[in-house]
Amino acid sequence: MNQLAGVFAANVTPFQPSSLAIDVPWMKRHLAYLRNHGCDGIVPLGTNGEGPSMSVDERKLVIDTAMEAADGLVVVPGTGCASLPDTAELTRHALQAGAASVLIVPPFFFKNVSSAGVLTYYRRLFDMALQPGQQALLYHFPRMSAVPITDDVVNGLAESHPGCVAGIKDSSGDLQSILHWTQIDPGLRIFAGSDTLATDAYEGGVAGTITAAGNVVPHLIQSVRQAVISGNDPTAPQANLNIVRGWLERSPSMHAATKFLLTLFADLPPTAVRPPLIGLDEAQRSVLAAAARPFLAAQD
């Protein structure tokens, strides 16, 4: 699992504007852009990838496309569903296709469930889907899933399924939460899901980042990481990364804004989001373009 380190894009899924079908050629071009701009790996079908908006077969198509076009990128698909059988099917498919690991969000439809229930879910899932030597990342994003990963879940899995948890992606936006996991088990590979906390997270010893801005400016995140590793000052790339992240967070739709920015940064054609998400209107695109173009010119 030494592959599980570095800058990962929580990569978006492109949908054709007219049919909302997955745009496979667009996805391949995006992966080439990521590979050439500092990414170590990709995490398709997570929150930014609109995984829950797709059928199991569509998610398999995304996984297969990612594996085909990775060309050196480490692939860790998001396979978590509300349904245990669907999660098991996708997890088996991803690992059989050669994914380095999978990212599994807790079952997210039923709220206020107990840690015992979440632990049982993961134990059943690991029994159903993991072969010896295969591992999964747990996905802690309580603001979105409303079902947290707790210490009891992590410790319980360590007891019943030792070695099956590769690590945790923490998208809480709370640095103390991110670094807390390293105290539970120093062997866990922790990934921060926050662009603005990249410097602090890397300085705190995380294995990597899995973020939205990684779709657009992975080179800035890689510059932060390398500066921390080499003992240099990461202030400048972190400041520029914060600017891009700010555009995404101020947008009416982070997903749509990310896809629009890729038309500017990666010269990719327009692509859609799936309902219930909605795209940016002309005025919103104009505001984002006005902010991005001087930034792009300064980066050249």
Query: What CATH number does the domain containing 47 carry?
Result: 3.20.20.70
The alpha-helical segments, DSSP class H, found in the chain are: 24-36, 56-69, 84-96, 115-129, 142-145, 151-160, 175-184, 198-203, 218-230, 235-250, 254-265, 282-299
Answer yes or no: is 112 within a domain: yes
Mean pLDDT over the full length of the chain: 96
Q: Is pLDDT at 1 greater than 70 in this prediction?
A: no
pLDDT value, residue 3: 76
Answer yes or no: is 277 within a domain: no
Answer yes or no: is 240 within a domain: no
Q: Is pLDDT at 176 greater than 60 in this prediction?
A: yes
DSSP element (H, E) containing 192: strand 189-192
In tens, the pLDDT along 220-251 reads 999 999 999 999 999 999 999 999 999 999 99
CA 40 to chain centre: 12
What is the pTM for the complete model shown?
0.96
In tens, the pLDDT along 97-150 reads 999 999 999 999 999 999 999 999 999 999 999 999 999 999 999 999 989 999
Answer yes or no: is 30 within a domain: yes
Helix, strand counts (H, E) of the chain: 12, 8
Tally of domains in the chain: 1
Torsion sign across C-alpha atoms 68, 76, 104, 268:
negative
Q: Are 44 and 79 in contact (CB under 8 A)?
A: no
Average pLDDT estimate for 290-299: 91
Answer yes or no: is 220 within a domain: yes
| Residue 28 lies in domain | 6-231
Answer yes or no: is 253 within a domain: no
Answer yes or no: is 94 within a domain: yes
pLDDT value, residue 2: 54
All residues at 6 or more sequence positions from 2 whose CB lies less than 8 Å from its CB, including other chains: none
Average pLDDT estimate for 69-96: 98
